Structures are given as structure tokens and as C-alpha cells.
């Protein structure tokens, strides 16, 4: 589609001239179908680059709305989006249309769950992970391995970033590396330790590059290692090349535990109180004192022997030692899950 436009040649000339892409590569990019999961720091850079480079069909999924604290690094959004409380996916699609009217960007305002992930992933040539939590990444890993669709992991927190390209059957998947998500509530999130825009931009740029290699069909140059970088301490590392583990529960034994939801958190609306309870999908013990320290400065935090209460961004979270949290003032399960992963961590 994009190559039929006479101005397209000009538009993408710097890219087609690059030896790795060429005119045939650009044609494939134009026909490409990419799913971007998450539209925060990583997702906005990704959508921006995908749109500018002429990827023909982009779907972007995010459950959140634009907030002021996003603008520091989320490159597609503006103050007006935050003031109007526009859903991120919608704001991203609108910005994308202004940048390149010849590509299609479909916004999906939703939480990615075991119930919709296969449907979302199935129609994509590849999936870009731009989520903020490990639960969703394990879910994406399951869906992509099951359907044989490549996905590119990316994460940035503080001054650090990581990326991994997963080609089912060819490279290691997420569960080859770590069969279960690391104990959580212990992991740092952007809300608790912050994040530098540069770490976000570098990781997402690496992801975009991997996506373009896949779209043009150059598998030889794919990154087959876990990349790690720290922009503040000038540390850039590349691990050993990773191959699939035959013992991997996911790509080795084809057990899709996260798709079958045996290990994901559950949400219930609590009648009587405009509130949603998020329960972790597994036994977990939270150190409330520790969590209180991590949340210091994020909002108003108070603790009792039984619970921790956080008021932040107009929401009230009550967190208990067994990892459950009651999010008050909403009956929106997706929002509750989002606040949970932001403040408590998955």
C-alpha cells in the first residue's frame, strides 16, 4: 500500500537506501502487521518509529489514560491529552495519524488478559512488548510461543534497560530463562524508582530495529542474547547466545500456564464499596514496611499492623500482607490491575 504512493519513495528514501532494507524490504515493512502491547514510555517511542518507518498495520493496546507524569518520556503525548484524560491507545493513534496518514493504527483500550491475548496476537506478524509488568510478559510469551509468533521483550526502569528477541522454536523464550516470574512486590517499578527517558528510548529503539529485521526477513542479524544496559553507569552487556531449553515448560513442553490463567492475579469487584480487590495469583508475603519505604514520596502512605494505605493520583489503595489490595473509588477492573502493578508490582 505505502509503495503505491508516488511520494512514498521520497518519504522512506533514507531507509530504502540502507543496505539492510532496500525497496523490497520497504515493501515488506509496508505490508507488516505489528502489535504493540503497552503504550507508555516504550510503546510511544515504538509507535512513533513504526509509523514513521511506514509499518502498514499497527495495533496498540493499553488500558491506561494519559497523565501529566507520562509526558517526560512518552513521546507521542501532549499536555492536552493529559488534561482531557484521553486513553493512551487513542491518543497514540491520533498522533500517529498526524505523522503518517498512509499507515493504519488501530487503538485498543483494554487490559491484556488470558481471555483476549490470543485474539490480539494471532493477527500480528510480530509482537512488541512495551508493558510495565511481568505478568503480561509471561502471558505474551505463552500466546506467542503457542501461535509461533516472534515477540520482542523490552523493559526499562531507573537508568537500566533490557531487551530480548524471542523467535519461538529458534531462540530461548522467557520461560526458558526463568520458568516462573521472579518473586514480586520486590521488583522495582517506574512509579517507585523512576525511569530515565534515555533508557526508555534506547531500549525501544533496539526493539524497533529487531522488528524491522524481522519484517524485512533478515533473521541472521537478530539479537539472540539478553541485552542489558545502564545509561547512568555506562554499562552495556550482552549475554551468551540463548537457545531454547528442552525442559522449558512453555516452548519445550508446550504448557501454557499463563494463558490458562493458573498463575495470574484475579480481580473481583466488591459490592458495597465502589472498590475492586486484586489478589495475587500465588501465595505471597509482602513486607508492608518495605513497601511503605518504596512508596515514600509517591503519595500519602500510612501503615497499621494490618495494612498499608496509599493515596495517590486520586486513587486509594489498601494493601495487605498477603499481597491483596483493595482499590477504592473505582469498579474498573483494568484500572485496578494497572494501579496494582504500578504501585505494588506484580
Partner 1 sequence: MSGIDVIYLDNAATSFPKPPEVAEAILEFLTHKAGNPGRSGHSLAVAADAVVAETRRSLASLLGVRDPSRLVFTLNGTAALNLAMYGLLRPGDRVVTTSMEHNSVARPLFALAERGVDVIWLPCAQDGSLDLEDLDRALRAAPTRLVAMTHASNVCGTILPIGAAAELAHRHGALLLVDAAQTAGVLPIDVTEQSIDLLAFPGHKGLLGPTGTGALYVAPGVHLTPMQQGGTGTHSELLSQPDELPFALEAGTVNTVGIAGLSAALRVLKATGIEAVRAREASLVERLLEGLQEIRGVTVHGPLDSAQRVAVVSVILHGWEPVDVGAALDSAFGIAVRPGLHCAPLAHRTLGTFPLGTVRLAPGYSTTDDEIDQALVALRELSLSAG
Binding site for partner 1 (CB under 8 A): 270-273, 275, 277, 283, 304-307, 318, 320-322, 324, 326, 328
For partner 1, the closer CB: 23 or 273: 273
Q: Which own/partner contact pairs does 237-244 have at CB distance under 8 Å and 24+ positions apart? A: 242/164, 242/171, 242/172, 242/176, 242/177, 243/171, 243/172, 244/169, 244/170, 244/171, 244/172, 244/173, 244/176
Shortest Cβ 274–partner 1 spacing (Å): 8
Query: Which partner, partner 1, Zn ion, none, binds residue 277 by CB below 5 to 8 Å per kind?
Result: partner 1
d(CA 106, CA 163): 25
Shortest Cβ 147–Zn ion spacing (Å): 14
What is the number of alpha carbons within 13 Å of residue 32 lying toward its C-beta?
Answer: 28
Shortest Cβ 250–Zn ion spacing (Å): 5
Phi and psi at 203, nearest 5°, equal -60, -45
Shortest Cβ 322–partner 1 spacing (Å): 4
Query: Which partner, partner 1, Zn ion, none, binds residue 248 by CB below 5 to 8 Å per kind?
Result: Zn ion
Query: Which partner, Zn ion, partner 1, none, binds residue 326 by CB below 5 to 8 Å per kind?
Result: partner 1
Query: Which partner, partner 1, Zn ion, none, binds residue 251 by CB below 5 to 8 Å per kind?
Result: Zn ion
d(CA 253, CA 51): 37
Shortest Cβ 300–partner 1 spacing (Å): 14
Grid cell at residue 234: 555506562
Positions touching Zn ion (CB under 5 A) are: 173, 175-176, 248, 250-251
Question: For 227-248, b where at least 16 C-beta lie within 10 A, e where not — what string?
Answer: bebebeeeeeeeeeebebbeeb
DSSP three-state, residue 154: strand
Shortest Cβ 325–partner 1 spacing (Å): 9
For partner 1, the closer CB: 19 or 271: 271
Query: Which partner, Zn ion, partner 1, none, binds residue 199 by CB below 5 to 8 Å per kind?
Result: none
For partner 1, the closer CB: 136 or 318: 318
Query: Which partner, Zn ion, partner 1, none, binds residue 148 by CB below 5 to 8 Å per kind?
Result: none
d(CA 110, CA 107): 9
- Cα–Cα–Cα angle for 197, 200, 203, rounded to 5 degrees: 145
What is the number of alpha carbons within 13 Å of residue 177 lying toward its C-beta?
Answer: 21
Of all residues in the shown chain, the one whose CB is closest to Zn ion is 248
Amino acid at each position: 500500500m505505502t509503495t503505491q504512493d508516488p511520494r512514498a519513495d521520497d518519504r522512506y528514501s533514507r531507509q530504502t537506501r540502507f543496505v539492510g532494507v532496500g525497496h523490497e524490504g520497504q515493501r515488506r515493512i509496508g505490508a507488516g502487521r505489528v502489535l504493540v502491547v503497552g503504550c507508555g514510555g516504550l510503546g510511544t517511542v515504538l509507535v512513533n518509529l513504526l509509523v514513521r518507518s511506514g509499518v502498514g498495520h499497527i495495533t496498540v493496546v493499553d488500558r491506561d489514560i494519559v497523565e501529566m507524569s507520562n509526558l517526560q518520556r512518552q513521546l507521542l503525548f501532549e499536555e492536552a491529552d493529559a488534561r482531557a484524560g484521553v486513553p493512551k491507545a487513542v491518543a497514540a493513534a491520533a498522533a500517529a495519524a498526524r505523522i503518517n496518514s498512509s499507515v493504519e493504527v488501530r487503538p485498543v483500550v483494554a487490559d491484556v488478559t488470558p481471555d483476549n491475548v490470543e485474539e490480539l496476537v494471532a493477527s500480528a506478524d510480530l509482537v512488541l512488548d512495551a508493558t510495565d509488568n511481568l505478568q503480561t510478559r509471561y502471558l505474551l510469551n505463552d500466546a506467542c510461543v503457542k501461535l509461533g509468533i516472534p515477540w520482542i521483550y523490552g523493559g526499562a526502569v531507573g537508568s537500566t534497560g533490557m531487551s530480548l528477541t524471542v523467535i519461538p522454536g529458534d531462540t530461548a523464550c522467557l520461560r526458558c530463562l526463568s520458568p516462573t516470574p521472579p518473586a514480586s512486590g520486590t521488583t522495582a517499578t517506574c512509579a517507585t524508582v523512576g525511569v530515565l527517558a534515555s533508557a526508555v528510548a534506547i531500549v525501544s529503539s533496539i526493539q524497533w530495529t529487531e522488528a524491522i529485521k524481522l519484517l524485512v526477513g533478515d533473521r541472521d542479524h537478530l539479537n539472540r542474547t539478553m541485552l542489558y544496559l545502564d545509561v547512568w553507569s555506562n554499562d552495556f552487556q550482552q549475554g551468551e547466545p540463548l537457545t531454547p531449553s528442552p525442559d522449558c515448560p512453555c516452548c519445550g513442553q508446550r504448557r501454557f500456564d499463563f494463558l490458562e490463567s493458573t498463575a495470574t492475579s484475579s480481580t473481583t469487584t466488591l459490592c458495597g464499596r465502589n472498590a475492586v480487590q486484586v489478589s495475587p495469583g500465588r501465595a505471597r508475603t509482602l513486607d508492608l514496611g518495605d513497601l511503605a519505604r518504596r512508596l515514600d514520596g509517591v503519595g500519602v502512605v500510612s501503615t497499621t499492623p494490618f495494612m498499608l494505605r496509599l493515596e495517590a493520583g486520586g486513587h486509594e489503595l489498601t494493601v495487605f500482607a498477603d499481597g491483596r489490595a483493595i482499590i477504592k473509588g473505582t469498579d474498573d477492573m483494568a484500572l485496578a490491575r494497572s494501579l496494582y502493578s504500578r504501585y505494588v508490582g506484580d
